[in-house]
Amino acid sequence: MPHQPTPRRLALFDLDHTLIPIDSDVMWAEHLVALGVVDTAWHSRRNDYFYEQYKQGTLDIDEFLSFQLAPLGAHPRATLESWREDFVKTKVLPQLTQSAKDLVARHQAAGDLVAIVTATNQFITRPIADAFGVEHLIATLVETRPDGEFTGRHTGLPSFREGKIVRVAQWLAEQHDCLLQDFEVSTFYSDSLNDLPLLAQVTHPVATNPDPTLLAHAESQGWPVLRLW
């Protein structure tokens, strides 16, 4: 099969609070609490603790992932997938806005190479990316055993902060035989101060529903600010 030329434009999207007005990590944890499959009081406290760290830009990603992925190693995968199906249907899909779907669709219609780049794990985010019609998902990977069950740990480099730069570079090299710098236009949409490293690497950073720190930085740099809701 002849090699397909790389599109001249790249569009990258953060997920939580960028394309969807919720944090899917936090909502998944709350879903497990509602199901009664984790200790409610302890899990809620830890969830709040890590979310506050994230908002402050001080999150220890390895400590967080040990907490967040532990339930995946404690239950059969078929059960987890059933819980996830209900989670996506009842908690995520109703939150998808037409403005966010239209934004993604415009880049796809223009022939851009489109990907969602998120620190949230792949198990949670794959069906959300599918709901946006996005094939390429760069997310934190969940370790599996030979029988396909989850271990409750992550594998590889989490796609968080500078890790997003590395993971995007790996994806482009391995699947598209190119570099980020090869694109005439590269756009990254994000809401979070944690994404400043990757925002600084693209030709067109867009502060999208930005947190106060990112908003101040975007205004000082003359970056566009987009609000989807």
pLDDT exceeds cutoff 90 at 132: yes
Average pLDDT over every residue of 96-115: 98
Question: pLDDT digit string (tens) for 22-78?
Answer: 999 889 988 998 999 987 787 778 878 888 888 888 888 888 888 889 999 999 999
Active-site residue identified among 16, 23, 25, 195: 16
Lowest mean pLDDT among 33-47, 62-76, 84-98, 159-173: 33-47
* 191 is a catalytic site residue: no
Mean pLDDT on 193-201: 97
Which of 50-54, 169-173, 185-189 shows the lowest mean pLDDT across its residues? 50-54
pLDDT at 59: 85
In our burial notation (b when 16+ CB lie closer than 10 A, e otherwise), range 43-75 reads beebbeebbeebbeeebebeebbeebbebbbeb
- pTM for the model: 0.92
Confidence at 1, pLDDT banded by 50, 70, 90: very low
pLDDT of residue 32: 93
Indicate if the pLDDT at residue 3 is higher than 80: no
Distance CA 21, CA 36 (A): 25
Round the average pLDDT of the chain to a whole number and report it: 94
Crossing angle of helices 77-87/122-131, nearest 10°? 40
CATH ID of 9-226, from 3.20.20.70, 3.40.50.1000, 3.40.50.2300, 3.40.190.170: 3.40.50.1000
Percent of the chain's residues with pLDDT above 90: 81
Among 37-51, 86-100, 173-187, whose mean pLDDT is lowest?
A: 37-51
Least confident of 26-35, 59-68, 195-204, 205-214: 59-68
* N- to C-terminal Cα separation, the chain: 43
* Of 45 and 228, more confident: 228
Q: Could you tell me which residues come within 8 angstroms of residue 188 by beta carbon, excluding any fewer than 6 positions away?
A: 12, 13, 14, 117, 195, 198, 199, 201, 202, 204, 205, 206
pLDDT tens for each residue of 144-155: 999 999 999 999
- Confidence check: pLDDT of 4 > 80: no
112 is catalytic: no
Q: 38-42, 122-126, 185-189, 219-223 — which is least confidently predicted?
A: 38-42
Predicted confidence band of residue 2 (pLDDT cuts 50, 70, 90):
very low
Q: Where are the domains of the chain?
A: 9-226
How far apart (Å, rounded) are the C-alpha atoms in residues 13 and 114? 8
